[in-house]
Amino acid sequence: MDLACGAGQNAVYLAERGWSVVAIDFSPVALERAASLAASRNVPVHRAELGALPADWSGVLLVEADLESAPLPAASFDLILCFQYLDREAFGRIESTLRRGGYLVYETFAESQKAHAEGPHDPSHLLRTGELRAAFPRLEVFFYRECETPRAVASLLARRPM
């Protein structure tokens, strides 16, 4: 599952490598971009409602949903990606959506982003020091970093225990 998938680059990348990917975003414009990208790469595209995901599909399944209020299906995914999106209230739901042994890859802006000219500056959209590492207490953390690249980010790779 690719949360807040935007234009779908990550979802399409995974689908090209054989994953069946649910790509969720609140923006119909972003989902249209994702559909166009998938089609340009000959990746099958489907649409569904979050509460009515099909049991089997291939390619990318586009879902328009507001992650701030949408119920995520429990223990349903082997891999969850989340980039450049922060909703602290969703951390528990994201964790619960992973299957046992499933992985979470999460990266978003850190509070030192305020020193950069571009990107978010609102503290509600920026992770505090150590916050992402502590956000998923039931997951095993394999990799964590907070760094300054062209932007300030915190990155996490973690797994739900078997």
Residue range 78-137, pLDDT digits in tens? 999 999 999 999 999 999 999 999 999 999 988 877 777 788 788 888 889 999 999 999
| End-to-end Cα separation, the chain, in angstroms | 19
Query: Burial level of 11, CB count in 10 A (0-12/13-18/19+)?
Result: buried
- β-pairing, 45-47 vs 152-159, is unpaired
With a threshold of 0.85, does the pTM exceed it? yes
Please state which of the ranges 29-43, 48-62, 116-130, 147-161 shows the lowest mean pLDDT: 116-130
CATH architecture of 72-162: 3-Layer(aba) Sandwich (3.40)
Mean pLDDT of 52-71: 90
Residue spans per domain, the chain: 1-68, 72-162
What pLDDT sits at residue 114?
Answer: 77
CB distance 108 to 85 below 8 Å:
yes
Whole-number mean pLDDT of the chain? 93
pLDDT digits (tens, 9 = 90+) for 15-32: 999 999 999 999 999 999
Task: Using the structure block, give the residue that is written with the tokens 């150590």.
Answer: 130
Q: Which residue has the higher pLDDT, 71 or 11?
A: 11
Beta bridge partners, 106, equal 82, 156
